[in-house]
Amino acid sequence: AAVIVLNAHDLAPIDYAIARMPITFPYIPGLLAFREIPVILRAFERLQTAPDMIIVDGQGRAHPRRLGIACHLGVLLDLPAIGCAKSILCGKATAPKNERGAWSPLMDRGERIGAALRTRVGTTPVYVSIGHRVSLSSAIEHVLLACKTYRLPETTRWAHRVAGGETINLDSAQKRLL
């Protein structure tokens, strides 16, 4: 797992940590937190800069049990958390207008569980949902701020890059690759 802390103003990386450990829980759709949270927590423990909020590559309340990995992680870390997924796990949404910032409700059994958010013109939306201690409107706003150039938030993009072995030169913090 890789976690990265970005500067909120310019989205530049200021700290990151990677953790690896054996997988002990099988992949079961809807139970991702049980498989991934132990190693994610280990990576968070290695950070020297505490984040103010987390954007998780996965679901929050947009989950069949309304407790996706973003909710679970937010509660465990006691941090505001947002789920930002590349696909829908449950519910349905109409496509938002083809303009940056447009969104449509993600609905499941009559309940609004998130939003299909267009972060770039001409790309498929991402699916934003409440994780912990954040409103849906605030979650949408934060995801848009984190998507300056690409469809996915910079948090997700940087975490995938460092998890894949890319080295980042940090000006104000040291990297920890353990």
Q: Is residue 124 part of a domain?
A: yes
In tens, the pLDDT along 13-64 reads 999 999 999 999 999 988 999 999 999 999 999 999 999 999 999 999 999 9
CATH number at residue 82: 3.30.2170.10
- For residue 6, the cross-strand partners are 13
Summarize pLDDT for 86-97 with one digit per residue, the tens.
Answer: 999 999 999 999
The overall average pLDDT reported for the chain is 94
Helix ranges restricted to H, the chain:
32-45, 69-77, 136-146, 154-163
What residues contact residue 164 under an 8 Å CB cut-off, 6+ apart? Answer: none
Report pLDDT for 171.
59
Q: Which domain holds residue 70?
A: 2-173
Q: Is residue 131 part of a domain?
A: yes
Domain membership flag for residue 49 = yes
The span from the CA of 134 to the CA of 138, in Å, is: 6
pLDDT at 173 over 70: no
Residue 178, domain member (yes or no): no
The stretch 93-105 carries a mean pLDDT of: 98
Tell me the backbone φ, ψ of residue 105, rounded to 5 degrees: -65, 140
- What is the tally of structural domains in the chain? 1
